[in-house]
Amino acid sequence: MGNFIYTQNSFASGEVSSEFFARENLNGLSKLENMDVISSGALSRRRGLMNVSETIAGTRLIPFSVNEDENYILALTDGHINVFYNGSKIQDIISPWNESSLEKLQYAQRFGTMIFVHPDYQPHVLKKGIINFELSVFSFSSNDDMTVNIPFMKFDDASGIKITVTTSAYGNSYATFTTNKNFWNSTNVGGRLYLLGKQWIVYEYVSPTVIIANLNGSYVLPGSAVSDWSEAAFGTRRGWPCSISFHQDRLVFGGSREWPSGVWMSKVGNHNNFDAGTGLDDEAIFITLLSEQRQQICTVVSSDNLQILTSTGEWAISNKPLIPSSVDIKQHTSVGSFSERYLPPQKIEGSTVFISNSKKDIRELSLDELSENYNATDLCSLSKHLMDNPIDLAYNDQTGQLFIVMQNGDMAVLNKNSNLGVSAWGIYKTQGNFESVAVMDGETYVSVKRNDKTFIEKFSDLALIDNGIYGFSYAAYGLPLLSAKNSPTKIRIRKISARVLNTKSLFINGFRAPLPNEAYSDDSPGYSGDVSINLLGSSTDIIQPVWKIESSEQLPTTVLSLSVNGWYMV
C-alpha cells in the first residue's frame, strides 16, 4: 500500500481510446463531451449556439466571402440556394441540384464568383452582383467561327470506332455519321465531336450506329471511314467535372464521371478557355494520372503546390510556374480520400487536412523539412473511436478548431495549436442532430435538426445554451490511475483539488465543489482559484477514471489543473 498525489496540469491530448490508457506521460482524458481543450491545455465548457434562421432538413452550409467586410453563408437545400447576410436571409435562388446531389457538389471561389461542379450536372456559376446574386450555367469561351474552347479526348470505349461521313438531307452544314458498330445513344445529342479538323454538334440521334451532326460552315467528304476523331471531355453522355480549384490563375477541373483520373487546367487568366492550342506557356493543360491502380480524383487543392487527392493516394504538381511543356507530377502518399461524398479538405497551419478512404483517419498532408516530399500524418491516431462516418467538416482558424459532423448527429471537434502542443479531440452533442458546418469570418455556423424542425445556428461566447431553448450537459473524465506509472488493484481517494478560472459551477465525482457565494451573482465573471472535495471512497475497478467532472448546469466552467490525493494497493 502506498500514498500517491497525481496532478494533471494539461489535457492537451483530449479524449483518447482505451487502448492507450496504459501509456505514460499522456495528457489525455477518457471522455471529453461538450468541453474544449483551450490553448493553455485547460478544460472549458463549450460555447452555446445562437439561432440564425429556420431552414429545412438536408441543408448544406457553404461560406461565400466577397471581401473582409462582405461575408455570406449559403444554405443549399433541395432546389434552392438561400443566401444569409448578418444573420438574415436576403435571397432565395432556384438551383438545379436536388437534395441527394448536394453530397457530391464541389465548389471553388475567386473574388465575387463561385463555380459549382458535380459529375452529373453542367457546372454553374454563382456571381455576386451590385445588389443580388445570380446563378448561371458555366460556358466554355467561344471563337469567331462558333467553336468553343472545350477539351476533346478519345474515350476508351471509342477505341476501334470508325465513322463514315455522308451528306444529310438537312443541308450543307449537316452530315450523317455512321459507325462500324453500335456506339451512339440519345445522350450524345447536344454534345460535341471533333473530326475532319472541325467541331461538330450532334443534332439528332437516329440509331446506335447513326447520328446527324452539324457545324458552322461547310466540309469536304472524306474518301474513307474516319478513325482519328474525339469527343468533348464533358457533356451529358460523358459527365461533367467532379472537382474544382483555382491554381496559379488557372481554373482546374479534376476527374469526371468517365475520365476519373484526368486533370484539366484552363489558360492562364482565361478560366473558360481549355484549348491546349500549340502548347504555349499560358495555354491550357491536360494530364492523366498514371499508376497501377485505378485513380478516382476526389478533389484538387491549391496550396504551395497543386495537390490532387484521389481514392488511392495523394499527388502533387510542383511546377512554378505551371506550364504545358513541363509538368512535374508525383504521387507522394498512398492513403486515399473518401470518394462517396465531398468532404472539403481544410487548410490548417499550412497543411491540408482531409478525411481518408477508411473514414476513420483524419490526415494532415504536409511537406517535409526539405519541402520535397509530402507526408500524410494521422491526426486522430489516439482517438479513432470518435470517428463515425463523417459527412461534413470545416476549420475555424481564429479559434483553432476543426469541426467534423458525423452521420449519427454528433460532431467531433479537434482543438489544435501546434506551437503550444495542443491536439485534443472531443465530442459535441446537442438536443438534436448536427447536419452541416461552415466557417465564415471567424464564426462557426451549423445546421441542426431538432425534433421536426431544422435551424441554422452559430456558436457564440454570449450563449450558455443552444438556440435559446436547449440546455446541454458536459463532461470530462480523467484517465485510470494505471496510466500514472502504477498498476494498483485497489485505490482510495482522499481528496480531489481543482484550480479553476472564471467558474460558476463545478461538480467533481458527483459532488458539487464549494465555490464562494459571489461566484454565482449575475455580474460576477465567476470564481478563480482552488477548490477541493474530500473523502470520496475506494474502488477496485482500476479501469475506471479516478475523477469525473460533469454537470447539466448551464453555467461557465474552466479547469486549469486537477490533483488527486489518496492511496493505492498493488
| Confidence at residue 275, expressed as pLDDT on a 0 to 100 scale | 94
Asked if residue 233 lies in contact with residue 100, where contact means CB atoms within 8 angstroms, the answer is no
CB 27 within 8 A of CB 11: yes
Question: Which of 287, 284, 285, 291 is closest to 259 using CA atoms?
Answer: 287
> What is d(CA 176, CA 186) in angstroms, rounded to the nearest whole number?
15
The answer to whether the beta carbons of residues 219 and 193 sit under 8 Å apart is no
pLDDT value of position 289: 94
Q: Of 512, 510, 504, 516, which Cα lies nearest the Cα of 545? A: 510
Per-residue pLDDT, 316: 96
530: which 3 cell numbers?
482552488
Amino acid letter, 14: G
39 contacts: CB under 8 Å, gap ≥ 6: 400, 417, 420, 422
Integer Cα distance of 410 and 407 in angstroms: 7
Q: Which residues of the chain have pLDDT under 70?
A: 1, 482-487, 538, 540-542
Q: Cell numbers of 390, please?
A: 463523417
Phi, psi dihedral angles at 322 (to 5 degrees): -90, 115
Cell representation of residue 66? 466577397
Q: What are phi and psi of 99, to 5 degrees?
A: -60, -40
C-alpha 62, offset from chain centre: 10
What's the gap between Cα 557 and its chain centre?
Answer: 31
Say what the alpha-carbon torsion angle 511, 517, 518, 522 is, to the nearest 10 degrees.
Answer: 70
- The three grid cell numbers given for residue 159, joined into one nine-digit string: 477505341
How high is the pLDDT of residue 101?
Answer: 97
pLDDT, position 540: 64
What is the model's pLDDT at position 290? 86
Q: What is the pTM of this model?
A: 0.94
Three cell numbers written together for 453? 424542425
> Which neighbouring-strand residues pair with 330?
316
Q: How far apart are CA 164 and CA 175, in angstroms?
A: 10
pLDDT tens, 498-542? 999 999 999 999 999 999 887 878 788 899 999 999 977 767 666
Measured CA distances, 450 to 35, 75, 118, 439 (Å): 21, 17, 30, 21
How far CA 164 is from CA of 169, 196, 212, in Å, comes to 16, 11, 12
